[in-house]
Amino acid sequence: MYNDRRVLLEGNAVEEVVKSWVVKDKAEKVEGSELDGLLTYRQHETSLIDELDGQEGPFDTFIEWKEKSKISSPAPEISALNLSATQSLVDGDPATANTFTIDLSASYSSVTDLLNVGIEVPKDYGYTYVLTNNTSNKYRNIYNTINISGCTTLAQVASTIASKINKDYVSAVADGTKIEFTTKGKGAYTNSLTANGFSRNYEKVVEGAHGEIQAAPGSPAVAATGVIGTGRLSGGKNDEGEPGVPDMPFSPGTNATGSWNIANVASGSGIVLKDSRYSTSSYIYIRFQDGSSWPSGKDSDNIYNIGKNATGSFTIGGVRVSFSNGVMSATTTDASRGATLASYFSISDGIAEGAAKAAVSYQPASAGTEVEYQAVKALSSLNNTVVNHKTGKDATNAHYDIDLTSYQTSDEAVLEEFIASLLGKGITLNSASSSQYGYGVEFIDSDAVKDGVPTTDTLSKLNDPSHSSVNRRVYPATHLFNTIDLAQLRRLVDTPMTIANAFAKLMSGQSGVSFQPDGVNLNTDDVTAIRYSAPEGYTLDVYEGELRHYDLDFGQWFANHPNASIPGELDGKGFRAYCATDNSQWFNFLFLNGTGDMDDKPLSGTDTQDIKTIIIDVSEVTDASSLVKAIYEQATPVLTGDDARFNHLMRLAGDTENGVLTLYDERRFPVTFYPDYQTKGAKISGGVMDNVLRELRNVYVDRLIIQDTDHASQNIRISIPRTTMDHVFGYIPGSYQPEDFNVLTQESREKLLGIEPEVGILDKGLTYLIDANTLIGAQINRMRNAGANITTAAENTQASESTLRDADMAKEMTGYTKANILSQTAQSMLAQANQNSSQVLSLLS
């Protein structure tokens, strides 16, 4: 029997892969995350750009908006409305100028009587003038003086006033002692001209008593509170739709909010509030103190010292920040723009040294300077009352009528042809004067959805050609084009309603663009035309532009990789797209083959990098169409949801049939005047760049083979997991140093213990050891069971052997007995034979 046991060392092997996340201080490219060749199917740049905006590529750039001068040729048209590129409006009736006259001799006899006399023409424009013979005189809140020191007669004063007040909107002509004012306006507005005399009291005040302003040294560092987390508001939504427009859907916006418990933060810790709406961000620096004191102002370090239990509030940008009972809360001030205002607001924990810049300190007040403001008396001929002469008439608007007689039908085929003619086009009223803005509408179709993904036909492709950095610097997020969703046209026609009436109803709510003639009931009367109206000098133009967008052709990628193992080939891959106006802000789209164990992923981003990483589960993806659908369905709720950290301007559409995903920017106007505008606007790159990296940890084991018999297949395999410190804590060279494992600082404690929802190093190590212990325990049970099985087998074998031995003995005895019987029989037969032979012989003898 074989009793020798042999133990063989098979070597190390990977038992399993543990997936987790590593948070770094700075973003880095994720190695191997680029889908090979994805950006080679570009539609814009002639070649990829290796480096752009100080970032390593390769990059391609979004197709940018098309300016007025760059609209494609031939000029666009809307055949259904018989509109070509540009139509001049039919002129209306011009205005007749309004006039009024002031006669100085009616109330004054000499030039001296007119000194320090005030006149305002016209009142609505706020131009105020004072007649003086001493230009060094000071007048409170008056910036225009008319020097009449060289005048000796009232006629000369009248001539001087006329030359000074002659403006673009009004002309003034002197005739002796009379001054005649005439309007120059030709529009359809009331071109009345107003004037009045005004007065001011004499004042003597001391100014400059605040003392000198001197620069102060840099501010000290302030420790972090440890409770702010991401420092972002959530839950905000913008208005969707146009309130007040008949039969148009409207979803009201909601305020974004945030709340933090500061009752137990360390005294002396602080935060920074930031509002980044404009080119120069606004900051508020706060240092928390014990107690409930509320600051009367900033300290010398430019920091507000607020008690942790203080009660009070203030506003920064579009967010109201309040303190009460140890809680700091924040909410946007305008629910209609809840998401937008929240996207500009953020809180960072702690204040870096010198960040507050401690800008200025005030020295003790000096005596200041005594300033004497002269009194002003009203022009007597106006009797200090408003003059509003109206000797002319207002103009009537120019207009253009669009014939809709061909669409007094509800036929579905005609309706779809009508929609197809308008889709992607825009109509605008443009002024010939650069000082005026255009007003317009653009047409989209939200019904254009395939396989649950909006197609590019839903995109508004028209950009604002009148927009420029000169005339639209404030609130650039507002644009002058209203979006008309042609899907609503189908709904109205189904009510039922003719196409002409439905179109007129949609357009009638567009303020400043069009109107339906009075007396027409859009619900019952037949509409034959719709009229565009504007002051003289406007034209009606048709535009066809392109949104800032990029098409990712996954269909072509799949075609060029027919043997790719899907979804495994997609795992860990992705792409990233950068905001056109902020080089430090980008979206990562990271593909993972299953995300069940990735729920605890920390949020991406650093103090200087606004990284928005969206996980896409591709485990069910089989082709380009299903990939486009997966990206849209999983990313869109994040991009448009309540979380202000992701609610930005990036949107998705796609062509599932051909496997093309379109990324586009909602802003329908050029953004080149933004301070942080990138060199070539929005850009895109293959692969992911993140500060939160996926860590795949191999659990190594040493495998032993215990061979208990002479049969090769009869053995026991044992896996012993490695439990050295680098395995337990998942040490990755370059991510941190051994000395970081301490509890001396808040940062190191947080790294060891973790901050919800992030898991600390110690918890990860314990999880590893528990998994290792579970593995060892399972194998101990296996060995015990194997040993018990061997003992049972041995006992059974021994019992069988005894039974076999007993059977063999019985067999032998049976054989022995048989042999004896045969021997005795033979002897008996032989004896009998011998006896018979003797008897025969005796007979013979």
Predicted local confidence at residue 12, as pLDDT: 62
Alpha carbon of 53 to those of 411, 518, 664, 680: distances in Å? 54, 56, 20, 9
Q: Which residue has the higher pLDDT, 443 or 127?
A: 443
Q: What is the pTM of this model?
A: 0.55
The pLDDT, as a whole number, for residue 413 is 96
Bigger pLDDT: 689 vs 11: 689
DSSP three-state, residue 674: coil
321: nearest Cα among 269, 280, 283, 360:
283
Q: Per-residue pLDDT tens for 212-261?
A: 444 456 788 899 999 998 888 988 887 764 443 334 445 677 888 999 99
pLDDT interval class at 439 (50, 70, 90): low
Report the DSSP pairing between strands 582-592 and 610-617.
parallel
Q: What is the pLDDT of residue 648?
A: 80
Looking at residue 552, its pLDDT comes to 93
Work out the average pLDDT over 84-91. Answer: 81
Separation of alpha carbons 416 and 413, rounded Å: 5
How far is Cα 789 from Cα 776, in angstroms, rounded to an integer? 20
For residue range 762-809, what is the model confidence (pLDDT) as tens digits? 777 777 677 777 767 776 776 777 667 777 777 777 777 777 776 777
Q: How far apart are CA 30 and CA 828, in angstroms?
A: 105
For residue 814, the SS3 value is: helix
Mean pLDDT value of segment 296-312: 86
Under a CB-based contact definition with an 8 Å cutoff, are residues 302 and 285 in contact?
yes
Mean pLDDT of 808-819: 74
Q: What is the largest CA-CA distance in the chain?
A: 213
Q: Is the pLDDT of residue 707 over 80?
A: no
Segment among 29-38, 361-370, 444-453 with least mean pLDDT:
361-370
pLDDT bucket at 634, cuts 50 / 70 / 90: very high
Task: Rank 248-252, 474-478, 675-679, 837-841 by mean pLDDT and report only the highest.
Answer: 675-679
pLDDT band at 512 (very low <50, low <70, confident <90, very high): very low
Distances (CA, A) of 398 to 94, 375, 421: 9, 48, 26
Cis peptide before 76 (omega within 30 of 0): no
What is the arithmetic mean of pLDDT over 709-717?
61
539: pLDDT strictly greater than 70: yes
**pLDDT above 70: residue 641:** yes
Q: How far apart are CA 116 and CA 378, in angstroms?
A: 9
Among residues of the chain, what percentage have pLDDT more than 70?
Answer: 71
Mean pLDDT of the region 688-698:
81
Q: CA–CA distance from 529 to each of 423, 500, 522, 666 (Å)?
A: 20, 8, 12, 32
Cβ neighbours around 730 below 10 Å, total: 16
